[in-house]
Amino acid sequence: MSRSLVNLMAELENRLTGTASSDRLASDVGSLIPDATTYVLFLIDGLGAAQVRAHGGDLAEAMGATLDAPFPSTTTVALSSVATGLEPRSHGIIGHHMWWPSVAAVVNILKWMYPGAGPVDVDTTAVLPSPNLWERLRDAGVEPITVQPAAFETSPLTKMLYRGCRVEPVATEKEMAEATTQLAAVPRRLVFTYLPHVDIAAHIAGRASETHRAAVDAAAHTWSSIARRLPSHTAMVGTADHGHIDYRHDQKTYVERSTGSEFFGDPRALYVRGDGEKVAAVVGGRWVPKEELVAWLGAGPDHPNLDARLPDGVILAPTGRLLIPANMDRRLIGYHGGFDDDERRIPLLIA
């Protein structure tokens, strides 16, 4: 289809270097992006296309098309696709929680911690394939820079995602807009600006909350502030990593741990090592074996460690429900990770 987040990364890489590791955007979508010598990619974590439409305003006016987030529709998977320009099947990050063979345990990839326990002893700088997108850009004479909250600067996830990329930490949305604008003034750059606030608000308070509304307002203001001040040689596109769906407590099915089974992935798409078909029958979800799941992770080639990281299959939660084992957060309102349009359709914003 060539209408995914991976295709967007390939489009930008090709425009800056003349080549890319994946297929570019379909021509009718790619033609929406202006030619430029420097690009800003502004990613608003957790802002699905449905949320943009519901909010209206500057972001809705800027939305030229919708794209598909990778499956599973979650941050670690999508940002790994941004950092590599590859599908999950090739970059090897296939979930929020993953089975990590070198430690023989489930690991929270966002925090690089054992669920409910301490940090994992893994060199995260070596997790993603080499060369990643940032390294390929540098080799072609293009400077990659990420602008993100200072709190993330030394995190294991930042070390995983931004090997070879200059990191510019900021403390506020105002600083984010100013830094992005200043950095974009130099030709032959890709400036990746990452704003996490909408995702946090949607998880904790839900899409219908004033907290979420205020977070989207702030994102829209930051977008507009950058767009107004971009130099003529620069173009800005915006997108997200996934959207959100709200769930009440009575829509949450708590999955009991069974002997010989390990649960990971996400409450919307629950990975199982063990007899997942039996668990699916108990919780009312759809069991999808590994052989079918692999195709959902995108086109190959396979990451060298993919097979060792894969579950025996995935249970897709029934419509309107979550499947939450003990090692996943039960307190939230907003969730994502599955195939529904609200969580997988993301915007393509054009400044």
- Over the stretch 250-259, which tens digit does the pLDDT of each residue have? 999 999 887 6
In a domain, 142, yes or no: yes
pLDDT digits (tens, 9 = 90+) for 13-45: 999 999 999 999 999 999 999 999 999 999 999
Of 153, 236, 221, nearest to 190 by C-alpha is 236
Cα 23 to Cα 13: distance, rounded to the nearest angstrom: 11
Distance from C-alpha of 324 to C-alpha of 309, rounded to nearest angstrom:
20
Residue 121, domain member (yes or no): no
User: What would the two tokens of residue 103 be?
Assistant: 């430690």
The reported pLDDT for the residue numbered 164 is 98
Q: Is residue 214 part of a domain?
A: yes
| Cα atoms in the Cβ-side hemisphere of radius 13 Å centred on 322 | 26
Q: State the average pLDDT over residues 231-240.
A: 97
The mean pLDDT value for 304-326 works out to 96
On whether residue 298 sits in a domain, the answer given is no
Residue 265 has pLDDT above 80, yes or no: yes
pLDDT band at 1 (very low <50, low <70, confident <90, very high): low
Asked if the structure places residue 42 within a domain, the reply is: yes
- Write down the pLDDT at residue 179: 98
Paired residues of 41 in beta bridges: 192, 237
pLDDT over 70 (residue 227): yes
Q: How confident is the model at residue 117 (pLDDT cuts 50, 70, 90)?
A: confident
Give the CATH number, domain containing residue 167: 3.40.720.10
Establish if 99 belongs to a structural domain: no
Total number of domains constituting the chain? 1
Residue 325 lies in a domain: no
From the number of C-beta atoms within 10 Å of its C-beta (0-12, 13-18, 19+), residue 266 rates as buried
Average pLDDT estimate for 234-250: 98
Q: What is the mean pLDDT of the chain?
A: 96
If one counts every other C-beta atom within 10 angstroms of the C-beta of residue 60, the result is 16
pLDDT in tens, 131-160: 999 999 999 999 999 999 999 999 999 999
Q: Which strands, in side-by-side order, build the sheet including 166-170?
A: 63-68, 345-350, 234-239, 38-44, 189-195, 143-149, 166-170
Is the pTM of the predicted complex or chain greater than 0.85? yes
Determine the average pLDDT of the residues in 239-259: 93
Domain of residue 74 covers 5-87+134-245+341-350
- The token duo for 229 is 């001040």
**3-class SS letters over 1-68:** CCCEHHHHHHHHHHHHHCCCCCCCCCHHHHCCCCCCCEEEEEEECCCCHHHHHHHCHHHHHHEEEEEE
Is residue 159 assigned to a domain?
A: yes
